[in-house]
Amino acid sequence: MPPVVEHVELDKKPQKPRLGGGGPGKIPHRWGFGGGDDGDYGHHEDFVSRRDRLRRYRVAMVITIVSVTALFVGVTTVYFLRGTHGPWDPVEKTYLENWQPVILPYRILIINTVVLLLSSITLELGRRGLLKKSEFVSMGIRPPKLQTEFPWIAITALLGFAFLAGQIIVWHSLRAQGLYLASQNPNSFFFYLLTGLHAIHLSGGLLALLISLFGSWLKLRFDSQQIAVDVTGWYWHFMGVLWLYIFVLLRFAM
Amino acid sequence: MGTTKPTAQGLLRRYVFTTDHKVVGLQYFFLSLAAVLVGTFLSLLMRIHLVWPQAAIPFLGQIKPENYLAYLTIHGTLMVFFVLSTVPQNGFGTYLLPLQLGASEMALPRLSMAGFWITLLSFFVLIAAFFAPGGASLAGWTQYPPLSAVPSAGPGQGTGTDLWLVSIGLFCVASVLSSINFITTTLKMRTRGMTLMRMPLTCWTWFVAAILILLAFSILLAAVIMLLLDRNAGTNFFVPANLLISGHAVDHQGGSPLLWQHLFWFFGHPEVYIAILPGMGVTSHLLSVFSRKPVFGYKAMVGAILAIGFLGFMVWGHHMFVSGMNPYAGFAFSSLTTAIAVPSAIKVFNWLGTLWGGRFRFTTPMLFSIGFVSLFITGGLTGPILAQPALDAYLHDTYFVVAHFHLIMAMAGLFAVFAATYFWFPKMFGRMMNSTLGSAHFWVTFFGAYAIFMPMHLLGIAGHPRRYSELTGVQYVAAMAPLQQFITAAAIITICGQLLFLINFFWSMFKGAAAGANPWECTTLEWTLPSPPPREGFGNQSPLVYQGAYEYSVPGASKDFLMQDSTATPQ
């Protein structure tokens, strides 16, 4: 058996596939530059690491969105199962029919929808502006503040608050119909559960927006602010789509 | 990568509130160690109570039936959540995943830290239930409503159950955060040359288990929120109509307890694979290292891991055969469940293939890995039996089920954890664990595991139901008392045997023989670093990967193996 030749340039000669997993050596590849940097040490300021960091956070955001989707899939499944027929009553020997229709306050709901979709547009404008600026920063131009994007993000946050306020009005109008969370009517508590979970998730996005807005006071670096706005943008659009889904579900299933 | 400027941090930032994945991994490890000690102590109390129901325990007095059920609930919860889904995945995974991929940090280090602290909080909330009025929840780790949904259903069903639900809700959040981090790290942090098919199988299992956690725990979170609302906000998701508790009608109307079972087991079955997949990865890795052979059928192993993860989501109904489900649904769940035997058999075949003709080094981690294979086969063989609706109708809720899941999930999972601990201890603490004590620990635990759980199959076939604290006056159960006594004796001996591990662990931490960088002659990247690895991991020098993860007994190689970053080319 010929001896192993140590330290050979790899691309010179194709390797034979072996059993140890991985097969022959194709060395260079596209992903992964190693190293982490939102920890306590080590900041790379160079172009590659910033782009890499942005991509990493975007991947994490996509995975987060998958997880939130799973949560809502769980709730929707229960909603449909309860909707197809009521539960079995062993005493009366019959299926219970306690599924009563809910009169949705459409006007406020539609205004809310428009507000949320508008906020998606404003945030997208801010996100794109910041992304462009961050390219300049990576070319060595001094880090700017959020000056020009500040209004877009602030408007988004305000619209987000307006949406939440609108949801509170919706809940009040349901209470006026005598529909509470504590209820025998499944339609009623599913409405509160779905809209409430959505509102809680949206509040998380609002918090992230506020943190990136006031990031300069929190000593956040420009990079981190830009990344925060970028991934929150993705999340925010997802919240908009999720809201449309919930609205359609409530409209047609109730 | 990155400039490694020396960090002027206090001890608090360095060892407590730290983003260092190595410290976070150890924090998870010690949290699980605490959880496993409490959980084992509870199982000891239960075993003693089953055999001597009148015995007074020092400080606790006589165990009342509600205490027994509370111990049962917390034992199951601690072991499933805080041990089996914490230490193999978050403990060893957080410590080793970046190192094995050639990265110096997790993708989102602060998320690691947040995950650990939320898990710790969740642990304290769970334990606090013992001190709540009425004690801890009685409903078992599955928390079936209506028992779990109505506070008047029992002494632990008030505050105790609320605390259980809050604790598990927090645990869900922590697990999802940590799984986001695992998936991102695996996708984005691999060093140059570390292609997916060059990753060690441990990384593959952590990756797939993270995907399972992401989906399963999100569903459990939805279910826990709904059950909490049922208990505290007057909704009616899970409480059936016309429910009488102690002769009093409950005002809830028209929910369905079966919905909870569906949601819970849609989480619960993938959870089994979350617990065991990392163990499978560790076993594959270690069998290869210590028989000095490449993993037999690396690609088939990866395929089997993915298939197990995928099928794991489709079989939850086999926990519910006796719930009155449509027989056709039962048939579908039964067929899918038996289908999991195929990838499982591929894995066992490949483990045996890896061992075949190997040049064994019978170190402690190797012994525990072989023990894992043995227990996995023994526990696995009862799986297809329980997957038959007709057989399950008889065996459901008997000790047969207890024996099945303890062997395959608890014992096999724990053996993998022991193997991983003995194996990576030198990397974590820079010292070797004592191998004589390690072997003694292995043999006690191995025979102990079989002595405890094999007789339980017989109890189950004879019809002994599980979960009862005491069955007095039942003729056929009374006849099984000698077998129960044997199990309790075996349990006491086995639990005492674990002291060997604890002594070895803490003694070796300070006094063990110094370990070099690569004491086991292993190929993966964590062994290129000194033991223990420095804070900055690989620092500026991201390794370049040229080899697969299991290049052992390479023909003509000078040292019989090639490190993953070795540039050697066999000719």
Say if the Cβ atoms of B13 and A98 lie within 8 Å: no
Say if the Cβ atoms of B556 and A23 lie within 8 Å: no
Task: Report whether B138 contacts B183 (CB < 8 A).
Answer: no
Q: Whole-angstrom Cα distance, residue B343 to residue B352?
A: 14
pLDDT band at A220 (very low <50, low <70, confident <90, very high): confident
Arithmetic mean of pLDDT, B559-568: 88
pLDDT tens digits, B169-198: 999 999 999 999 999 999 999 999 999 999
pLDDT band at B77 (very low <50, low <70, confident <90, very high): very high
Task: Report whether B517 contacts B539 (CB < 8 A).
Answer: no
Residues 43 to 82 of A: which have CB under 8 A from any B CB?
43-44, 49, 52, 55-57, 59-60, 63-64, 66-68, 70-75, 77-78, 81-82
pLDDT tens digits, B399-453: 999 999 999 999 999 999 999 999 999 999 999 999 999 999 999 999 999 999 9
Say if the Cβ atoms of A71 and B219 lie within 8 Å: yes
SS (HEC) of chain A: CCCCECCCCHHHCCCCCCCCCCCCCCCCCCCCCCCCCCCCCCCCCCHHHHHHHHHHHHHHHHHHHHHHHHHHHHHHHHHHHHHHCCCEECCCCEECCCCCCCCCCHHHHHHHHHHHHHHHHHHHHHHHHHHHHHHHHHCCCCCCCCCCCHHHHHHHHHHHHHHHHHHHHHHHHHHHCCCCCCCCCHHHHHHHHHHHHHHHHHHHHHHHHHHHHCCCCCCCCHHHHHHHHHHHHHHHHHHHHHHHHHHHHHHHHC
Q: Whole-angstrom Cα distance, residue B442 to residue B448?
A: 10
Arithmetic mean of pLDDT, B153-163: 91
| Residue B234 falls in which region: left (phi positive, over 0), alpha (psi -120 to 50) or beta | left
Max Cα-Cα span within chain B: 82
pLDDT band at A175 (very low <50, low <70, confident <90, very high): confident
Length of chain B: 571
Chain B contact set for A25 (CB, 8 A): 193, 546-547
Give yes or no for B353 touching A (CB within 8 A): no
pLDDT above 80 (res A89): no
Reference B213, options B84, B52, B339; nearest CA is: B84
E strands present in B198-355: 244-245, 248-249
Domains of chain A plus CATH, in order, are 47-253 (1.20.120.80)
Arithmetic mean of pLDDT, B375-386: 95
Reference B292, options B374, B233, B361; nearest CA is: B361
Residue with tokens 């986001």: B180
| Residue B356 falls in which region: left (phi positive, over 0), alpha (psi -120 to 50) or beta | beta
pLDDT tens digits, B287-336: 999 999 999 999 999 999 999 999 999 999 999 999 988 889 999 999 99
Q: Whole-angstrom Cα distance, residue B467 to residue B162?
A: 21
SS (HEC) of A121-154: HHHHHHHHHHHHHHHHHHCCCCCCCCCCCHHHHH
Say if the Cβ atoms of A74 and B223 lie within 8 Å: yes
The lowest-confidence range among B4-18, B433-447, B499-513 is B4-18
Q: Residue B17's pLDDT is what?
A: 87
Of these ranges, A5-9, B174-178, B558-562, the one predicted with the greatest mean pLDDT is: B174-178
Q: What is the DSSP letter of B154?
A: S
B17-240+254-528: which CATH architecture? Up-down Bundle (1.20)
pLDDT band at A242 (very low <50, low <70, confident <90, very high): very high
- The residue of chain B nearest to residue A196, with distances taken between CA atoms, is B225
pLDDT above 70 (res A10): no
The letter for the amino acid at A107 is R
pLDDT above 60 (res A29): no
Residue B39 has which token pair?
């959980």
Pairing of strands B56-57, A94-95: unpaired
Q: Compare A130 and B399 and report the one with higher pLDDT.
A: B399
Q: Residue A144's pLDDT is what?
A: 66
Q: Is B57 exposed, middle or buried (0-12, 13-18, 19+ CB in 10 A)?
A: middle
For residue B228, give every residue at least 6 positions away whose Cβ sits within 8 Å of its Cβ, in sequence order, or none.
B162, B165, B166, B169
Mean pLDDT across chain B:
92
Cα B257-B258-B261 angle, rounded to 5 deg: 100
ipTM over 0.95: no
Arithmetic mean of pLDDT, B344-363: 95
pLDDT above 50 (res A83): yes
- Residue A108 C-alpha from the chain's centroid: 24
Q: Whole-angstrom Cα distance, residue B371 to residue B450?
A: 11
Q: Residue A16's pLDDT is what?
A: 43
Q: Whole-angstrom Cα distance, residue B22 to residue B20?
A: 5
pLDDT above 70 (res A42): no
Q: Which candidate in B105, B201, B356, B546 is best for mutational testing of the A interface (most A CBs within 10 A)?
A: B105
Q: Compare B104 and B500 and report the one with higher pLDDT.
A: B500
Q: Residue B170's pLDDT is what?
A: 97
Q: What is the DSSP letter of B240?
A: P
Distances (CA, A) of B529 to B100, B103, B419, B552, B565: 11, 12, 21, 19, 12
Mean pLDDT across chain A:
78
Q: Residue A143's pLDDT is what?
A: 64
Q: Residue B148's pLDDT is what?
A: 92
Arithmetic mean of pLDDT, B359-381: 96
Cα B412-B455-B338 angle, rounded to 5 deg: 55
Arithmetic mean of pLDDT, B90-111: 94
pLDDT above 90 (res B343): yes
pLDDT above 70 (res A39): no
Q: Is the dihedral of CA A78, A79, A83, A87 positive or negative?
A: positive
